[in-house]
Amino acid sequence: MVAKILVQNIVLISIISLMTGCSMTNKKDPDVIVTTEPMLTKPTEGSVDKVTSADSVNLDKIDEKEVTLGSNIIYFDYNQYSVENPLDKKIIKKYSAYLKKYDEATVRIEGHADERGSRAYNLALGEKRSETIKEIMLINGVSKNSIEVVSYGEENPAVMGTNDETHSLNRRVEIVFSNTGK
Amino acid sequence: MNNNSKKKFIVTIKVIIVHIFLILILDLNAISNLKKNKNSFNEINNAQFLNLKSISQEDIEEYRKLIRKKKAEEKKKRKIEADRKKKAEEKKKRKIEADRKKKAEEKKKRKIEADREKKEILENLKKEEEIDLINHDRLELEKELLEMEKYELLVRQQIIRNSQLSDAEAKYILNIKSRIENNWLLPHDIKHDKICTAIVNQLPSGKITNVKIHGCTGDTLYVDSLINAVWKSSPLPIAPDIEVFQENLILQFKGPN
Amino acid sequence: MNKIILLIALQFILFTSTYAELIIKIDNAEIGALPMMVHVEGTSKKYSSVMFEDIVENDLLGSGYFNILDSSSVKNSLSNLNTQYALWALSGANYFLKANIFDESGNEFIKFTLHNVIKKEVMVSYKINLDKNNNIRKVSHKISNVIFESITGIKGIFDTKIAYISTDKSKKRNIYKLHVADIDGFNSVAIYKSSKQLMSPTWSPKNNKIAYVSFENNRPEIFIQTLATGERVKLINGSLSSSAPAWSPNEKFMAYTSSVNGNLEIFVHNFLTKNNTRITNSLGIDTEAEWGLKSKKIFFTSDRNGNPHIYSKLFKKGKAKRITFDGTYNADANLSSDGKYLSLVHNNGKGHKIAIYSIKDKFLKVISKGRLDEAPSFAPNGKMVLFASKKLHKGILVATSNDGRIRKEIELTGEDVREPIWSH
């Protein structure tokens, strides 16, 4: 058994040394070690692989064209549509930067509200929330034509349930690409 | 008309003519008289004047003195006469005044006298009356006192009876009130009057014979609820004392706020 | 002299103890429903007396004015009328409705008589030809109306309609439907179906059309559908969003909400000129317009002061006036037909409930008990309110008396329902 392996090695080394030609003359050349390809490939663009909001677990959206800008959801207080949290502003900035860079790209800002109270008022809340995001984007220099605003009111909750926690998860805006511009 | 005025005019003219005629006649007379007097005067004056020519300056002085004296005397006379007249008048005045005063005093006196007399008469009357009263029959007075005592007793008894009755009545009222309130059912959300009056007639057995509503402007449902409350309560509770029973009851319904 | 005084005093004392009348103050009533009994007999092959009886009893009970007593144990065909009344009175009824179905010269009739048990008299008596009016539910509701009006003097609403939206999200594709039904939930007909969201139905003043919001073009747009023909017309041409439609009582205008420069404002569409006039101008949300009786004033929801509250404004000019001040949330106002009350969604920290606001007295009263109540609308007689609530995560419809005492869930089998609206 041992003899067999030894013989194979000798043959291999001979062939390689023949192939490498003048390397044969450098008897003191070190062995060339072949390494394999790594299993995981790093994504091409800069990505953030962490949970952004303290009270939610978000999956980073990765669409077919492999565009990820991290979280695309901004949350709101009850009956409110203002953006105060600097982390939220950062999200908007990221999207604004992308939209400015790729001028074919368009987003749809989808506004939502929790289920409590009047349905028509909740439709208005969702719309106001989307409009707020749009306005910040416009201030950031994004073109009007790149943004579409839509409200679903309380009709498409992210989470079913009737306690404060689920309600807070439903008061949101989602930024969705209709065209990634690539 | 013309004829009339013409006639008047003619008459007037005639009158005037007559008047002028008369005047002329009289004047002529007067003038001639005057002339005559003047002539005679002139004659006298002339005569005197003639006399004067032969009078001396002393005579003239004396004559002047005489005239002055005469004038003074006359003046004096006139003054005395005036004084006398004045005195007489003053005297007359004083007399009149005195008379008047006297008359006034007499009048006053008479009045005082009259008043005094009147007062006297009244006092006399009063005295008579008092005497009358005092002289009233003592028995009568005693009789009256007795009657007063009887009345007072009755009053005391009635007061006691009243309090008994008022207790009984209060109880009666309360019984009727609670019976009717237990039967008074009001629907929600109903327009009602502040006070709505019902007049109820009942028999001594408590059985209600008639219900009449007075001056209510609330919803039909409200008025019906009062009528229902009353009829449902028939027969009403029996009165605890027959004297307290009333055949006519006035119920004042006060709606909820 | 003294004698005379004493005599007078005595007379006075004696006299005052014997009045001609007694005056009694009655000031304590029990607020409650009037006890009523209903008895229908004479079932025929075609018409079930039990059905008539059940429908009338449910109508009267649900109105909040009547307490239905069981009539089955009471004899009600005694020959002596006095004894009959006495028996009914003993059983506790104030009113007795007696009806029977019978045959007369080849036609089937129902005859009904309403008795006032306390006054011992007949109030009304009618008969209806069932072969000419063979819809049992319709006839029963008509009888309920007559009884209700005879006793209360208030217009009956038992034959009126409601509209509402149902959703079915059990399948891969959502199904939204707009329904029209009887007030008790029966005879429900779906007049429009969509895979996209439907919202905010509202009746035209003559009840011949319904306007509602549809997302069929991927945005909220108002459509007007004629009930008799099914014809649908979009209110605003073009691709603008519009929501929360409100018909003016004189049928000349439609108020609605649209977005301008990122703010939600109320507009009025003139049906004749096709012009759209902007009514509100504030940063934030102005929506949910509701017309005043004379088509001159508009009530609406606005958050211009931070929280949503009801405001009012003259349509043609003037400033907005704030109406509600209680609580932190007041929205979705609906005006009663006499113009005196607004029903609305109210929150003062204990969840979202239905409340009634008296415009003249400026007084707000909560009338529902849930925490997720919404979409209130008055019955045409103002005595009941219809609204949506949640039961075990499913949407249900509830009718309540306007003091909140009586609450009745409307049976609509299986569906998840919302946004009910009572016809005029």
In the CATH scheme, what architecture does the domain C34-152 have? 3-Layer(aba) Sandwich (3.40)
| % of chain A exceeding 70 in pLDDT | 63
Tell me which of A118, A151, A178 to substitute to probe the interface with C (most C C-beta atoms closer than 10 Å). A118
Task: Output A182 or C66, whichever has higher pLDDT.
Answer: C66
Domain at A73-179, CATH class: alpha beta
| % of chain B exceeding 90 in pLDDT | 45
pLDDT bin (cut points 50, 70, 90) of residue B236 is: very high
Q: Determine the distance in angstroms separating the CA of B172 from the nearest CA of chain C, rounded to an integer.
A: 10
Average pLDDT over residues C243-255: 97
Average pLDDT over residues C282-294: 95
Q: Determine the distance in angstroms separating the CA of B209 from the nearest CA of chain C, rounded to an integer.
A: 12
A127 touches chain C (CB under 8 A): yes
For C79-137, the pLDDT digits (tens) are 888 999 999 999 999 999 999 999 988 899 999 999 999 889 999 999 999 999 889 99
**Rounded to whole angstroms, what are the CA distances from A138 to A92, A182, C133?**
11, 21, 65
Q: What is the mean pLDDT of chain B?
A: 84
What are the residue ranges spanned by the domains of chain A?
1-35, 73-179
The DSSP-derived string for B22-69 is HHHHHHHHHHHHHHHHHHHHHHHHHHHHHHHHT--HHHHHHHHHHHHH
Average pLDDT over residues C420-424: 97
pLDDT bin (cut points 50, 70, 90) of residue C263 is: very high
pTM of the model: 0.70
Contact flag C151-B221 (C-beta cutoff 8 Å): yes
For A39-85, the pLDDT digits (tens) are 433 333 333 333 334 444 545 554 545 566 788 999 999 999 999 99
Q: Determine the distance in angstroms separating the CA of C366 from the nearest CA of chain B, rounded to an integer.
A: 15
Highest mean pLDDT among A45-54, B18-27, C8-17, C231-240: C231-240
pLDDT, residue B1, reads 53
A78 touches chain C (CB under 8 A): no
pLDDT, residue C157, reads 96
Q: Determine the distance in angstroms separating the CA of B137 from the nearest CA of chain C, rounded to an integer.
A: 17
**Residue B114, in any domain of the structure:** no
What are the residue ranges spanned by the domains of chain C?
34-152, 161-422
Q: Determine the distance in angstroms separating the CA of C93 from the nearest CA of chain A, rounded to an integer.
A: 42
ipTM: 0.89
pLDDT bin (cut points 50, 70, 90) of residue C400 is: very high
pLDDT, residue B166, reads 84
Task: Output C270 or A62, whichever has higher pLDDT.
Answer: C270
pLDDT bin (cut points 50, 70, 90) of residue C319 is: very high
Looking at chain B, which residue has its C-alpha nearest residue C14? B158
pLDDT, residue A100, reads 93
Does C340 score more than 90 pLDDT? yes
Tell me which of C26, C90, C383, C405 to substitute to probe the interface with B (most B C-beta atoms closer than 10 Å). C26
Average pLDDT over residues C216-229: 96
Average pLDDT over residues C338-363: 96
Contact flag C287-A120 (C-beta cutoff 8 Å): yes
Average pLDDT over residues C389-394: 89
The helix-helix angle for C136-152 and B220-232 (nearest 10°) equals 80
Does C67 score more than 50 pLDDT? yes
pLDDT, residue C1, reads 57
pLDDT bin (cut points 50, 70, 90) of residue A17 is: low
Q: Determine the distance in angstroms separating the CA of B237 from the nearest CA of chain C, rounded to an integer.
A: 14
pLDDT, residue C4, reads 60
Does C50 score more than 70 pLDDT? yes
Average pLDDT over residues A96-107: 92
Average pLDDT over residues C69-88: 89
Task: Output C285 or B7, whichever has higher pLDDT.
Answer: C285
Does A24 score more than 50 pLDDT? no
Same-fold call for C34-152 versus C161-422: no
B160 touches chain C (CB under 8 A): no
For B156-207, the pLDDT digits (tens) are 998 888 888 788 889 999 999 999 999 999 988 787 877 899 999 999 999 9
pLDDT, residue A10, reads 62
Q: Could you tell me which chains touch chain C, where touching means 3 or more CB pairs under 8 A?
A: A, B
C284 touches chain A (CB under 8 A): yes
pLDDT, residue A35, reads 39
pLDDT, residue B30, reads 57
Query: Which residue among C264, C390, C418 sits closest to A124, beta carbon to beta carbon?
Result: C264
**Residue B232, in any domain of the structure:** yes
Contact flag C21-B246 (C-beta cutoff 8 Å): yes
Residues of chain B in contact with residue C153, where contact means CB-CB under 8 angstroms, are 219-221
**Number of domains within chain B:** 1
- Provide the 3-class DSSP secondary structure of residue A129: helix
pLDDT, residue C284, reads 87
**Residue B241, in any domain of the structure:** yes
Average pLDDT over residues A122-138: 96
Cis peptide before B235 (omega within 30 of 0): yes
B15 touches chain C (CB under 8 A): no
pLDDT, residue B43, reads 57
C280 touches chain A (CB under 8 A): no
Does A25 score more than 70 pLDDT? no
Query: Which residue among B161, B173, B187 sits closest to C24, beta carbon to beta carbon?
Result: B173
**Residue B202, in any domain of the structure:** yes
Does C8 score more than 90 pLDDT? no
A162 touches chain C (CB under 8 A): yes
* Interatomic CA distance for residues B105 and B111, integer angstroms: 10
Average pLDDT over residues C65-70: 94
pLDDT, residue B209, reads 94
Looking at chain B, which residue has its C-alpha nearest residue C117? B228
For C144-190, the pLDDT digits (tens) are 999 999 999 899 999 999 999 999 988 889 999 999 999 999 999 99
pLDDT bin (cut points 50, 70, 90) of residue C78 is: confident
**Residue position matching structure tokens 């940063």:** C283
Contact flag C21-B250 (C-beta cutoff 8 Å): yes
Q: What is the mean pLDDT of chain C?
A: 92
Contact flag B158-C383 (C-beta cutoff 8 Å): no
Does C62 score more than 80 pLDDT? yes
Contact flag C30-B184 (C-beta cutoff 8 Å): yes
Average pLDDT over residues C256-262: 93
Q: State the fold for domain C161-422.
A: Neuraminidase (2.120.10)
Q: Which residues pair with C378 in a beta bridge?
A: C385
Looking at chain C, which residue has its C-alpha nearest residue B242? C18
Query: Which residue among B144, B186, B187 sits closest to C3, beta carbon to beta carbon?
Result: B144
| % of chain C exceeding 90 in pLDDT | 78
Does B139 score more than 80 pLDDT? no
**Rounded to whole angstroms, what are the CA distances from B17 to B3, B28, B30, B31, C423?**
21, 16, 20, 21, 123
Q: How many CB atoms lie within 10 A of CB C52?
A: 27
Query: Which residue among C264, C332, C372 sits closest to A127, beta carbon to beta carbon?
Result: C264
Average pLDDT over residues C329-356: 97
Among the listed residues C104, C121, C94, the one whose alpha carbon sits nearest the alpha carbon of residue C36: C94
Q: Determine the distance in angstroms separating the CA of C198 from the nearest CA of chain A, rounded to an integer.
A: 10
Question: Which residue segment(s) compose the domain that B176 sits in?
Answer: 160-254
Average pLDDT over residues B222-234: 91
Average pLDDT over residues B73-99: 92
Q: Determine the distance in angstroms separating the CA of C318 from the nearest CA of chain A, rounded to an integer.
A: 24
pLDDT, residue B185, reads 92
Residues of chain A in contact with residue C345, where contact means CB-CB under 8 angstroms, are 117-118
For B38-60, the pLDDT digits (tens) are 555 555 555 444 454 555 778 88
Does A134 score more than 60 pLDDT? yes
Q: Kindly report the CATH number assigned to the domain that includes residue B166.
A: 3.30.1150.10
Does B3 score more than 90 pLDDT? no
* Interatomic CA distance for residues C300 and C139, integer angstroms: 39
pLDDT bin (cut points 50, 70, 90) of residue A7 is: low
**Residue B150, in any domain of the structure:** no
